[in-house]
Structure 1
Amino acid sequence: MWIQIFLLNTFIGVLLIEWAWKKTKPLRQRKPELEAQYPAFARFDKWNKSIYYLGAPMIIPKVILAVITFLIIWTSMSLITLGQKYDDFNAVHGWRATLAKLVGKFAGRALLILVGLQITYEEIDFDYTPYLGKDYKKNQKLPPHTPSAIVGTGHSSVVDNMTMLRRYGCTFVAKESLRKYPILGTCLTGQGMIFVNRGGTEEERQRNIDVIVRRQQLCEERGDYVLQCIFAEGTTHNNKFTLPLKRGAFIAERSLLPVCVDFKSDQIYPFHDTKYLTQLLILKVALFFQIKCIVKELPVFLPNEYLFETHKDKGKERWEIYAWAIRDALSIANKKPKLDISLSTKLEFETQLGYRKPIKQE
């Protein structure tokens, strides 16, 4: 009987691989001219179909384990938030936040194992003298609880979130609609997720900033809230560049922990593709730790007046100067050159590929 179950399980796995391989054919058809025009979104996977068959027997068991993992997380978060009502300005804190961090670390570790990812964390003793001035370490006075948030670059997929969860048990910024999802909404609320309405009105965008600033204040002054991780580039890309950083993390001028993510693979990379997310996930699950992730952590950065005065040519507003310094440091530490593009550039790229309908010109 067990042999029949194994064979059936393997057969289903092979069918899923065949389906995923067929659907991702456009990704294997390179478009050099388009990739040269949009270098931050070009893929550079190495496709070898035979290697995925080796992982075919593991696809269904991993899916089952993933479902069990989510149920454990949901049960834990339901108990943590039992009898409480939370919103963006009143997030989980105190002993509940401590438990939420532990659940988050468990979730990150379990999901990374299921995805089959090797991960390495490196602490880099980066010198901030060019930004903060000579003897800045002696002169600065860090707040009671640092950092106020984690600010990351190199965001390419949901795998990045897992790596941050595994190490920090942190929370993130997510779109408002996820709050209402069954099970997932409870898990995210219990983790202290900040929900925002992306692309909303000016009033809604300002509210998003106010929520982030308030959470930074609470984390830095009290230390009993779940730390937020902000991927400040505002979009996903292929991890080859350091893109401009959005203002949210920098408005408050509080201490930040700069982190950059890098990937190496001899097969497919974990980069998100909006049209082939499910298919790429199936192929990733079939791999045996061929994808390597390196997370580089720099020291806590606390801005000072030396930064804003010496580098005032780097931005019209103070947050722009702060963002420039963090971006520059992460670009150097991760050895990823800067590339000045915006989210609209990615939308143009996806339109060129046929993922999105062209915007009608009035």
Structure 2
Amino acid sequence: MFKQLSLAKKITSGFAIILTLLILLALAGRSGLTRVVEKVDVSNRFQLLVDQILDARQAEKQFILTNDPGAVEIVRKDVTTLTSEAKKIADTADDPGVKMQADRIVKAAQTYVQAFDEYVTLADERKHLMADMNQKADSALDITTGIRDEQRTRHDALMAESETKRSWMRQRVEYADKIKEQFFQASAYRMVMADSPTKNISTMTQWKGGHENIKNDLKAVGPLMLEPIAKQRHANIASAQKGVMEKGLAFFNDKSHGNNLALIKAVDTMGMAVVTFQQEMQELLDFYMEDVRIFSDQTMELSSGADQVAKILLKIRIMEKEFILTEDETFFRQILQNIKSIDSAIAEIRARIQAILPPGQMRLSQLPER
């Protein structure tokens, strides 16, 4: 590309030299003839060549500045006319000097039109290249800004959604803590009943009341049990409590050693279920909070990275416009450097995102909706 651009510069700078030579040749032929009255007609024909050259020069300048295809046609038409008229002069002139001047004009015109056609081809290639680069840069800029805005929207939506989920997950933890506390209180009343030689109606009532509170809390927290593991832990407590109530009533009516052992075993089973339930609810909340943090960091990193790439693409667009206006190769090199920097920026973004997420980390998409 640089070689083509350099060639284009050489061609355009060569236009002036060739056309100036053509004008000098035409003027020289004209001035040599105007001193001879009988060759006025040929002199006028040399003046026509000068006019054609000047017209071609103006059209050439117009094309260089505007890439107007109409100017190309004017240049080619003028040069064709110029060549044709110069050949006529060479064919009809008797003066060897006139023939030589006309032949030199024909050769110079042929050199010029070849150089001009090469420049037109290069200009067309450059036009298509820059249009393609502009289109791709625009598309890439739209994509990256879209990613940036999408990630910011996802982040905001995630924060709003997580606020709701964290609320009901905290409620589960609160219920689990409350159930655990009520279980230990009920266990204390059970121990008092076991140590009492007689039936203590008041203690029995307190024990039953404690378990009734647990049953009510299990019923209240039930709709919040969305994950399979949470449902299972919740069901384990309900099942174990039934066993405690049955064994407790049996022991209250008959304080035999066997009934006491059966009640102790049932209480231990329920105690394990209550503790496990409380731990599970707390861990689910902790894991979710960690997931939210990870995905929040990921979306913000991706949004920030997309914004970084968008800035590079915007810089490329600006330099493309500068290059089109000036054809300065420095801008083209900077464009290439910035394009290369996009790959390293994307690699850096990917590395930062991967560093955020530990191996095997649970995904938010795996969490149940409520």
TM-score by length of 1: 0.17
TM-score by length of 2: 0.17
Higher helix proportion:
2
Higher relative contact order (CA closer than 8 Å, sequence separation 6+): 1
Higher strand proportion:
1
Q: Which has the larger radius of gyration?
A: 2
